[in-house]
Amino acid sequence: MYKETVSQNLQEILDIKLVDAIFGRRSRRFAMGAAVKNGPLQFTSRQEPLPLSDTEKLLVLAAVSGNTGWHYAIMHNPKYAPFFPNYAGAAGGRTFPSSAGFETSQVFFTDDTGTYFVDTRDAPARVERNEDGFVDIQAVLEAHRSCIRKISDHRLNIPREEPFIEGHNLWIANIEGSMLVIPVGDLAQHMLLNLCYYLQNGYVIYDDTTDQKIPGIERFSHLADVDNPIPLTFIEMWSLGELTVELAAACYAGSLMLQAVGLGGWMFNGLNPFAILGASGDDRMSGLGFRYDEDDRWPLPNPTGLAGVMEGFCPPYYPDMRSAVEAVAERKFGLGGPFNPETSGMWITSGIVRGSAMIHSEEFKECVALQAQYIYDQFGKFPGTVPSIYVQTYLQAHHLDLEFYDRYFNPGACLKTHREHLAKWHKGNQTIKREKFNI
């Protein structure tokens, strides 16, 4: 009976119109078990917190970071012909766009059962599409269950005070029963991919913080216009902007799923990103446990990675930037990479298409590494003016307390999916026993 109910609910999700989710999206913050202790919307929930079920979690996670099959790549650049453009970092596409297919983000989440890592960045096509281009949603969920890795038995402990949580989120962020989704970007790798991208198009950088060219860059005048370089800070700012869009788009996709399922929650950035990663310096807040370094030249600590889970493409996880460049090239052209002829794809002749991309030559990699190593040596980290690992936007999912909305809002404040959610997904039982997340 439970499987039949889940199957029916999944089918109803497919029947939800996209326009209803888009135009019905709101930040619905008041969860079961929550309380606003004063002010014009003062209210204390009479309900116990209700954790998300396994299926609800998987739906949200699949929306935020789900693999959606092979992406189609950037297909043509007249300057490259007859070669295929070789920008992308991964062969698989996900639920959100990524600049030039760089795909440098991963997702973590935390709830009452622990803290988890969702590894979909370099996954191949997890499910096949039918002739109409659609996938089986149940197959999608099952395929992504295996991508989840538990890294802690505890919910992320975020002290309920500023500066860990912004004041307007103190009452609701990361509360009992909720699931907090945390997309994390490898900005070091994104910057390396952009250095490759710009070199492929005939550009190198100069250090505009000291107004000098990269020493030795003149050796590569046949690869790029070394007399008209691009400012270092521009490319780092551009990389930060591109990755911010990727992280935000992932959360937005998840917020649309909240509407379809009938869950409450919202996307926001009101948590201290350094504390979330583990760089707060406060023993009460170890965060996700990312390594970080400090330097008198930097105004803020610099997170670089979580060993064995998500390691930034920079020291200390690589001995130097040339090694990190080699790792980028391996990701692009090695086994499973987007430009390896053995990697499958959506093209009828995928091997020919992928194999027609120009492989980065030793000289090309040397030029990229020269620029990257200069940045690392000059600033003591890579990139130089932005973080190596980056967090910006979060998504929280929880069950709504409809009594609050009925008390203070006009009709229509919640969607039909929210009104019917408990009856359909939890058979009206608002004190359902908490279940472990079995992965």
pLDDT one-digit tens code per residue, 71-111: 999 999 998 889 999 999 999 999 999 999 999 999 999 99
Crossing angle (nearest 10°) for helices 416-425 and 2-15 = 170
Torsion of CA 18, 20, 25, 28, to 10 degrees: -130
Can you read off the two tokens belonging to residue 106?
A: 């991963």
What value does the mean pLDDT take over residues 283-306?
Answer: 96
What value does the mean pLDDT take over residues 377-404?
Answer: 98
Q: Is residue 431 part of a domain?
A: no
User: With the C-alpha atoms ordered 186, 354, 125, 147, is the resulting torsion angle positive or negative?
Assistant: negative
CA distance 194 to 378: 19
Residue burial 371-393, b: 16+ Cβ < 10 Å; e: rest? bbbbbbebbbbbbbebbbbbbbb
Which of these, 140, 101, 139, lies nearest to 122 by C-alpha position? Answer: 101
Task: Kindly tell me if the per-residue pLDDT of 265 is higher than 50.
Answer: yes
Q: What local confidence, expressed as pLDDT, does residue 266 receive?
A: 98
Phi, psi values for residue 322, rounded to 5° = -65, -40
**If you write DSSP's letter for every residue of 53-103 in order, what string do you get?**
PHHHHHHHHHHHH-EEEE-------TTTTTSBP---S-SEEESS--GGG--
Q: What Rg do the C-alpha atoms of the chain give, in angstroms?
A: 23
Q: What local confidence, expressed as pLDDT, does residue 286 receive?
A: 92
CA distance 112 to 330: 38
What value does the mean pLDDT take over residues 51-63?
Answer: 97
What value does the mean pLDDT take over residues 322-346?
Answer: 97
Q: Note if the bond before 78 is cis, omega within 30 degrees.
A: no
Task: Kindly tell me if the per-residue pLDDT of 436 is higher than 60.
Answer: no
Q: Is residue 439 part of a domain?
A: no
Residues comprising the chain, all counted: 439
Task: Kindly tell me if the per-residue pLDDT of 438 is higher than 50.
Answer: no
What value does the mean pLDDT take over residues 382-387?
Answer: 98
CATH number of the domain residue 333 falls in = 3.40.109.10
What value does the mean pLDDT take over residues 377-387?
Answer: 98
Q: Is residue 430 part of a domain?
A: no
Q: Could you tell me the pLDDT band of residue 437, with boundaries at 50, 70 and 90?
A: very low
CA distance 141 to 127: 10
Can you read off the two tokens belonging to residue 139?
A: 């197959």
What value does the mean pLDDT take over residues 210-225?
Answer: 97
Q: What local confidence, expressed as pLDDT, does residue 267 receive?
A: 98
Helix (H) or strand (E) holding 227: none
How far lies 186's CA from each of 183, 243, 374, 431, in Å? 10, 8, 19, 40
Task: Kindly tell me if the per-residue pLDDT of 123 is higher than 90.
Answer: no
Q: Is residue 433 part of a domain?
A: no
Q: What local confidence, expressed as pLDDT, does residue 154 receive?
A: 96
Q: Is residue 199 part of a domain?
A: yes
Task: Kindly tell me if the per-residue pLDDT of 134 is higher than 90.
Answer: no
How many CA within 13 A on the CB side of residue 109? 27
CA distance 394 to 46: 27
Crossing angle (nearest 10°) for helices 137-145 and 2-15 = 110
State which residues form the domain around 176.
Answer: 2-425
Q: What local confidence, expressed as pLDDT, does residue 151 receive?
A: 98
Q: Is residue 255 part of a domain?
A: yes
Q: What local confidence, expressed as pLDDT, does residue 318 receive?
A: 98
**If you average pLDDT over every residue of the chain, what do you get?**
94
The total of structural domains in the chain comes to 1
User: With the C-alpha atoms ordered 253, 259, 262, 263, is the resulting torsion angle positive or negative?
Assistant: positive
Q: Is residue 271 part of a domain?
A: yes
336 and 343 Cβ atoms separated by less than 8 Å: yes
Give the other-Cβ count within 10 Å of 213's Cβ. 16
267 and 140 Cβ atoms separated by less than 8 Å: no
Which of these, 336, 83, 350, lies nearest to 200 by C-alpha position? Answer: 83
CA distance 252 to 255: 5
CA distance 166 to 54: 29
Q: Is residue 85 part of a domain?
A: yes
Q: What local confidence, expressed as pLDDT, does residue 433 receive?
A: 41
